[in-house]
Structure 1
């Protein structure tokens, strides 16, 4: 039994009919796979994947955050589903089907996950789409969940027997116990608020929305100087004041999504990285900036100033397997306004270096303390009010861009080789109607692009622009 953290609960609180907090992965397998085989695999491996075995238990009257409690049984007839694409089963049809599945909210009466086996793909391939709620996992943990169903070699699917080490069912707390726990949390709220004030005051310039309030940046700068004078330590890099420009993919999102995906050769990305002395992540961010620049020019909507991107940073320590969300969002410029690709790459490298240096000097954990400083009954109201305000005003970012490193060896699912693993992420009123997430696997970078259906109807154009952007960078040299 584990209680949701305040950050986990935020992903429940902001969810509406249009703002849906699903994160997912689309696996492409070489060869056919039956639902019976997949059910046996899930039954066998689910003992080691806690989010698959847990459902939510609410606290009476919403006085505190819900609890995760173990389900006595997993209803695999409900959770594991299958469908087939009509001929010819091409990528566009697959993207359309995944977009429909991804836009649907998960039923909170069950453990918050669904798995779809997708038949009929061209070339005899099979798709496996797995989605979970963001309240249960973050992106890094989501990759671990998917990895639990994969093998290092072409092993056969397990038998139909239950795993010997299946955990005992763990029931939730009684109502009285939940209320006692709630009272104890209320007592500790002031301590969390104090920690938030101590941690957040020097970092007001990186908190979305707050950073744009009058006086936030001077207070942040003065507090950092005072802290250095009192306790020493390295100087934290200044962050530029970023104005979020208007784009076609900002504003209230609809209930419908588009999804497109593309593979890029990791070796080509590394060649660009080595030639210019930057990181793989810098190259990926530059590819996103270039693709967005070309798309915005096509739609006569390129702003004169840079876009503002949210970049997720993991708070997990190396080797740690802490449950729930362990992630924060850093804000950076994405220099779509720069015409020269060489200069654009260097500008992105400089901007990413600034936020990485700042994060490494003082990992941003203020959001967790802010969330925990408020009574849970008020947090939900505050979250929904903030989202409503953002949807009617300027959002804190234009879009989310993320790059997650993955295994560089071939993996298998029930003996079928994993050809590609595409991330499928979240778009909201606050984060923008476009999300570009990359995941590297076995020498390729798989990019999944989720967009609001009305804002970016031609989402596949961005995949073509990403390919062209990489070809452009490959032809450049630092001195040419």
Structure 2
């Protein structure tokens, strides 16, 4: 029995019927590479069953402490049923991209059963009219609760059900699975009381570990090497309201080499800078069409993994975050990229000074009962509409494998991320890289984004404009930053 961390537990407390807190992906496979040239559902079931020992999340379920007086625990589910977690469906004709997006959004909007292991795979057939895909492709929509994994620890599940060759080799795992008995409420309450006594000591330890980072950040702010954001809030937009229970999903794909070519034209820029500026341009175009573009710059929360090398297989979330400007107030795409690069650099330096792991640890300072009560009251009272948002959306990057990988022998063609939204933050943008492809996808509240295909088109247009502007600029000298002004020397006072 293993207790959830405060951050993992927060995703359980935030869950409401309108805000299920699972993440996942829409992965598309070509079964022609599999041993039989196609995949039957019973073969999918058999394959997943043979890989269950490869990831802890597959057979663990939650046990909640009475009244949420302490954070929940993971136990090995004594009633595990594989066929509950793996489903099968087909698109109706014609089986096009729009239908797949609608089905993915509908499936993703349904909460997971918190009394069972927190994951589902849905195999989707009938994709023969999606442009650019080989005939006979299937998709798998995966859902895994955010309490169980973050983007990096999700790699363990990906690794468990994929191989680097199509011949489906047998694999041995070093796990000896045994089901647990559900603990009695009395035992959980005793544990909660013990943890309550320990809480002040945990808080003191967290503060002691955080002081050096806070001191370093303060020194950077005093010397003006670091800058705080101009405001602690973001402008209100149609994404920053109470969300409904309905979702929309869409995505666009890019050649990674094209993204890298744009990045190479600006000194110091990164692929992430280019992606952020593309989202900034897409949001600008989309909100202009809705007459909802704010005058102030929109911001995004970007998760940062603080997972060390020996923590890669651990369950749960080990992340911090930084807030970055998206340059939505800037029309010129090159100027927007320069702006985003500068803002991202400053956010990285500020987060580095404080320490991303320190920021992550600070989430452990709130007792479980208060965290759960606060999350429920916030959602039920609709408080998201009563204050300015801390940020407008989420942009998260999930690195994928640099080589071809195979599910039961079927080659992964492309993958799109699907994520959670919640009150006050009705848009999450996910970046997936796999081989030579980069996909930008999003999940949004249907009441806020009733036309997801238009936002997807705006993202494509945003990149095309940036690419064209960079090509036009090619050969011109890069813009140089104005040199910092040196403080004027004080004149010596004349002696009397």
| Length-normalised TM-score, structure 2 | 0.86
Residue 73 of structure 1: CA displacement?
5.0
Cα distance in 2 between the residues matched to 1:226 and 1:250: 34
How many pairs does the alignment contain? 456
Shift of residue 237, structure 1, vs aligned partner = 2.1
Match of 1:190 in 2: 200
Q: CA deviation at 1:24?
A: 0.7
Residue 5 of structure 2 corresponds to 5
Instruction: Tell me, yes or no, if the aligned pair for 2:217 and 2:350 is still in contact at 8 Å.
Output: no
Secondary structure class of the residue paired with 1:271 = helix
In structure 2, stretches of 5+ residues that fail to align are 32-37, 129-134, 478-496
Asked if structure 2 preserves the Cα contact closer than 8 Å seen for 1:311 and 1:330, the reply is yes
1:237 is matched with 226
Instruction: Report what 2:177 is aligned to.
Output: 167
Indicate how the Cα distance of structure 1 residues 227 and 235 shifts in structure 2: closer, same or farther if over 3 A, else same. Answer: closer
Contact 1:403 1:439 in 2 (8 A): yes
Deviates more, 1:294-303 or 1:449-458: 294-303
Alignment of 1:69-80 (within 5 A): 69-72=75-78, 74-80=80-86
Moved more, 9-18 or 466-475: 466-475
**What do residues 205-255 of structure 1 show as CA deviations (whole Å, max 9, x unaligned)?**
xxxxxxxxxxxxxxx8x89547999xxxx9872222234112122200111
Q: Equivalent residues in 2 for 1:300-449 (5 A)?
A: 300-321=291-312, 322-366=314-358, 368-387=360-379, 388-430=382-424, 432-449=425-442
* Contact 1:54–1:71 (8 Å) recurs in 2: yes
Range that drifts further, 469-478 or 270-279:
469-478
Is the 1:40–1:158 Cα contact (8 Å) retained in structure 2? no
Distance 2:95 2:176 in 1: 38
Q: Counterpart in 2 of 1:90?
A: 96
Distance change >3 Å, CA 172–CA 15, structure 1 → 2: same
* 1:395 partner SS: coil
1:144 to 156, 177, 185: 156
Supply the distance in 1 between the matched residues of 2:249 and 2:211 (Cα, whole angstroms). 39
Q: Secondary structure at the match of 1:330?
A: strand
Q: Return closer, same or farther for 1:427/1:251 CA change in 2, 3 Å cut-off.
A: same
Query: Is 1:25–1:421's contact at 8 Å kept on the other side of the alignment?
Result: yes
| Counterparts in 2 of 1:189 and 1:69: CA distance versus 1, 3 Å | same
The residue aligned with 2:62 is 56
In the alignment, the residues of structure 2 paired with residue 7 and residue 85 of structure 1 have an alpha-carbon distance, to the nearest angstrom, of 37
Kindly state the Cα deviation for residue 376 of structure 1 after the two structures are TM-superposed: 1.9
The answer for the alignment partner of 1:211 in structure 2 is none
Q: Structure 2 CA distance, aligned partners of 1:403 and 1:454?
A: 25
1:200 deviation in Å?
Answer: 6.7
- Structure 2: distance between partners of 1:466 and 1:61: 45
Partner Cα distance (1:184, 1:250) in 2: 39
Query: TM-score, normalized by length of structure 1?
Result: 0.88
1:267 to 257, 261, 276: 257
Q: Contact 1:67–1:172 at 8 Å: present in 2 too?
A: no
Please name the residue that 1:462 is paired with.
455
Residue aligned with 1:140, SS: coil
**Are the counterparts in 2 of residues 138 and 325 from structure 1 also a CA contact under 8 Å?**
yes
Residue matched to 2:245: 255
**Larger deviation: 9-18 or 236-245?**
236-245
Match of 2:111 among 105, 116, 121: 105
- 5+ residue gaps, structure 1, are 204-219
The answer (yes or no) to whether the contact 1:140–1:404 under 8 Å persists in 2 is: yes
- Counterpart CA distance in 2 for 1:245 and 1:372 is 29
SS in 1 for 2:295: coil
- 2:73 and 2:323 map into 1 onto residues whose CA distance is 31
Between stretches 296-305 and 337-346, larger displacement belongs to 296-305
Structure whose alpha-carbon radius of gyration is higher = 2
Q: Structure 2 matches for 1:30-41, cutoff 5 A?
A: 30-31=30-31, 32-41=38-47
Q: RMSD across aligned C-alpha pairs, in angstroms?
A: 2.6
Question: Contact between 2:414 and 2:434, CA under 8 Å: does it hold in 1?
Answer: yes
Task: Name the SS for the 1:287 alignment partner.
Answer: helix
What are the within-5 Å matches in structure 2 for residues 277-316 of structure 1? 277=267, 278-316=269-307
Deviation at 1:268, TM superposition (A): 0.3
Secondary structure of residue in 1 paired with 2:142: strand
Q: Does the C-alpha gap of structure 1 residues 359 and 96 become closer, same or farther in structure 2, counting only changes over 3 Å?
A: same
